[in-house]
Amino acid sequence: MAKLSSSRQKALLRKYALNVKFFMMIASVSVIVYALPKQAKFGYEYEKGRIWNQKDLISPYNFAILKTNQEIEADEKTALATVTPIYQLNTDVGKQLVEGFKTDLEIKWHTAGINDKFKAKYLQTGISLLTDVYTRGIFKPNSKYQQSNPNYRVTILNNNIATERNTADLLTRETAIAYCDNAIGKVPYVDRAFLLNLMQDRLQTNLTYDLKLTQRLEQEVVENLSITRGMVQKGETIISKGSVINDEAFQKLGSFKKAFEDNARINGNHTLVLLGQFLLVGLVITLLMIFLYLFRRDIYDDNRLVSLILLVVTAMLATLSLAIKLQWPGNLYYIPYCIVPIIIRILFDTRLALNIHLLVVLVAGFFVPNSFEFAFFEITAGMVSIYSIKNLLRREQFLISALIITFAYFVSFVGISLVREGSFSAIDWMDFLPFAGSVMLTLLAYPLIYAFEKMFAITSDITLIELTNTNAPLLREMAFSAPGTFQHSLQVANLAENAIYSIGGNALLVRAGALYHDIGKMQNPLFFIENQTSHFNPHDKLPYEESAQIIIRHVSKGIEMARKANLPEIVIDFIRTHHGNTRVDYFYQSFLKNFPEKFINENIFRYPGPIPFSKEAGVLMLADSVEAASRSLKEPDEESISVLVDRIVKYKLDQNQLKDSNITLKDLETIKTIFKRMLMSIYHVRIDY
């Protein structure tokens, strides 16, 4: 099968761009809807302590009132107190240990030095005491049941026959030894130490705590507890308009919501629920695309950027939906919602970041508990995250932003808690932990931005900062091989950066473009006047056409070198456009002067273009021409510099080089003023006051 060329592939993508965009939208909506929980949405929002401002809420059917968590915990505690721990009686233990005592007595009797006539008495006393002890029972106390009283009730199982006892009637090994010691002391003509030593080796527990059986009984008791208290009858008023949502009303509303969701899950039409979700999510994605079409047409026309935005939105909503479905432990607020506006802000702009964040929160609000609270928390935090990273110039800005977002969450948390509870003492400060965890996870935006840059060929301010470092490989090479060009590029960068600050634009981008715009001159540095250190000029021995082509080729060579060094296309555009399609006038005019009779193709002396198509590229073109021309001034003063700047700007306008750059005449006046002021400062021109 024949393989399509890259140009043919690009042509096909352009031809079917709208179809691709539509497919991406449908895919995004489908993934989000697939991930969302398929349940009907309860139609009321309520909070404890607030006024019920809606109409009287009448119950459409009977439903049980659910107990609160505190009531359930209290019931469980009461029920568990009725369960006595189970101990299994092992009758064989006593018999075996009595037999062991007999054996021990026989072995040690001969060396004890006691008269044989007392042997029977020793044997009878030991057997009697051991039998008595094992009849009462020896157990090991369990600290779990000794919290309020050292003695507690137990159930003893002997061949599946249960007997209720109290541990006060039982013996531990220590109390059994003490009991035997006391009893032996009352028997005359018995060596107390000898007999006690024999017996204590045979005192072991014959009552074993049955943990599994006890836990099973406790589980059965808890499972049999009712989680409801009372009923609300059909037609009964759940809450009246104007009433305060107190604890009782809050519990009734929660119970009604649970009954509504259960009823919808059983009797609701899942197809209609799916249709509703598809309409809502589809509306949100459509609004996003309309925003891009109206206000960021550059992004709308680039399906690569559209796919990135849809990927971020879909991933966030799918993550939230998965958390709701799987009922992840902890809290839904652990999810780093602010990561979306931060990524979009750094990769694109503030308006788009805020728009996308609002749409994501709107969709998420349909499926999370307490939608209003959720929306307030996340919209305010998202706005703070966007405002706190206006320009990402330093790495610590991420940490500063995280602290500011945490503070915003904290203020919202305290405010909502006070509105709900009306007391500082009632606030559970542990509930703030999910918000802190969310902010920590938001720091993942930093590596994600890097990944998205590489995957979608986007250039963020972070990358531009790295590129403008003069120790970058290409700039370091230019500083050594073409020092004059390097100094020229630095001056152009300063001029262009100051100008773009004043008229509005991306100063980092224009600085990066200025530093790299002439890297193509490294191929033949001596053919450019700023690198010539002697009176020898290699152009003197070349035809004018060839000299012009060498000068013009620094653009194509620069593009080639930039791509080899993996510079972003947005920076390469500055190399491509910094001369537009102007002529190399010096060699063109020289040719006309020396060969007036010859016909010449003017395009030989003209740069291939294109002309600048952004404000930043237009400013760079002007700064490059002005800085280069200023070097030819023999006696730079205020007047000559002013005339030079005005002449060059007028020439670019006359040549239609700025018509696509979105620079206004007002901008041009500002640019000229800045150029004049900076050039006079560079050449130490004293201004008359």
Residues 404 and 285 in one domain: yes
Q: Where are the beta strands (DSSP E) in 108-267?
A: 153-158, 161-166, 207-209, 228-232, 237-239
* Contact indicator for 359, 318 with CB cutoff of 8 Å: no
Rounded (to 5) percent helix, strand, coil in the chain: 65, 5, 30
pLDDT at 560: 92
Is 314 contained in some domain? yes
Residues 28 and 62 in one domain: no
Is 423 contained in some domain? yes
Higher pLDDT, 451 or 1: 451
Is 73 contained in some domain? no
Least confident of 25-34, 273-282, 353-362, 596-605: 596-605
Assigned token pair, 84:
């006595």
* Contact indicator for 540, 586 with CB cutoff of 8 Å: no
Higher pLDDT, 63 or 180: 180
Other beta carbons within 10 angstroms of residue 219's beta carbon come to: 11
Instruction: Report DSSP state, residue 598.
Output: S
Residues 429 and 557 in one domain: no
Residues 476 and 425 in one domain: no
Tokens 């004890």: give the residue. 112
Burial of residue 533 (CB within 10 Å: 0-12, 13-18, 19+) is exposed
Kindly report the backbone phi and psi dihedral angles of residue 297, in degrees, each rounded to the nearest multiple of 5, phi listed first: -65, -30
Q: Residue 154's beta-bridge partner residues?
A: 165
> Distance (Å, rounded) from C-alpha 82 to C-alpha 153?
10
Is 688 contained in some domain? no
- Kindly tell me if the per-residue pLDDT of 5 is higher than 60: no
- Kindly tell me if the per-residue pLDDT of 304 is higher than 80: yes
User: What does the chain come to in residues?
Assistant: 689
Out of 410, 434, 456, a domain closes at 456
pLDDT digits (tens, 9 = 90+) for 220-237: 888 888 888 888 888 888
pLDDT digits (tens, 9 = 90+) for 527-578: 888 877 767 778 877 888 888 888 889 999 999 999 999 898 899 999 999 9
Can you spell out the DSSP letters for 161-180?
Answer: EEEEEEGGGSB-HHHHHHHH
Average model confidence (pLDDT) across the chain: 84
For a pLDDT cut of 70, what percent of the chain falls above it? 93
When pLDDT is cut at 50, 70 and 90, the band that residue 238 belongs to is confident
Residues 332 and 395 in one domain: yes
pLDDT at 311: 93
- Kindly tell me if the per-residue pLDDT of 10 is higher than 60: no
pLDDT at 71: 83
First CA to last CA across the chain, in angstroms? 77
Residues 204 and 151 in one domain: yes
pLDDT at 276: 85
Is 2 contained in some domain? no
Residues 431 and 335 in one domain: yes
Q: How far is CA 35 from CA 26, 30, 322, 389, in A?
A: 14, 9, 7, 31
pLDDT at 12: 47
pLDDT at 328: 58
pLDDT at 352: 92
Rg (CA), the chain: 43
Q: What is the CATH number of the domain that holds 609?
A: 1.10.3210
Assigned token pair, 662:
């979105």
When pLDDT is cut at 50, 70 and 90, the band that residue 596 belongs to is confident
The closest alpha carbon to 282, from 19, 17, 26, 18, belongs to 26
pLDDT at 395: 65
Judging by DSSP bridges, how do beta strands 63-66 and 86-89 pair with one another?
unpaired
Out of 401, 429, 456, a domain closes at 456
Query: Which domain does 623 fall in, by range?
Result: 468-683
pLDDT at 687: 47
* Contact indicator for 376, 416 with CB cutoff of 8 Å: yes
Is 10 contained in some domain? no
> Distance (Å, rounded) from C-alpha 325 to C-alpha 315?
15
Provide the angle, in degrees to the nearest 10, between the axes of the packed helices 483-503 and 473-481: 130
Assigned token pair, 472:
């970058």
Can you spell out the DSSP letters for 474-522?
Answer: HHHHHHHH-HHHHHHHHHHHHHHHHHHHHH-S-HHHHHHHHHHTTGGGG
Any residues with CB less than 8 A from the CB of 98 and at least 6 apart, and which? 127, 130, 131, 134, 202
Distance of CA 490 to the CA centre of its chain: 38
Q: What is the pTM of this model?
A: 0.64
Is 551 contained in some domain? yes
pLDDT digits (tens, 9 = 90+) for 388-421: 876 666 667 778 888 999 999 999 988 888 877 6
Instruction: Report DSSP state, residue 224.
Output: T
Domain count, the chain: 4
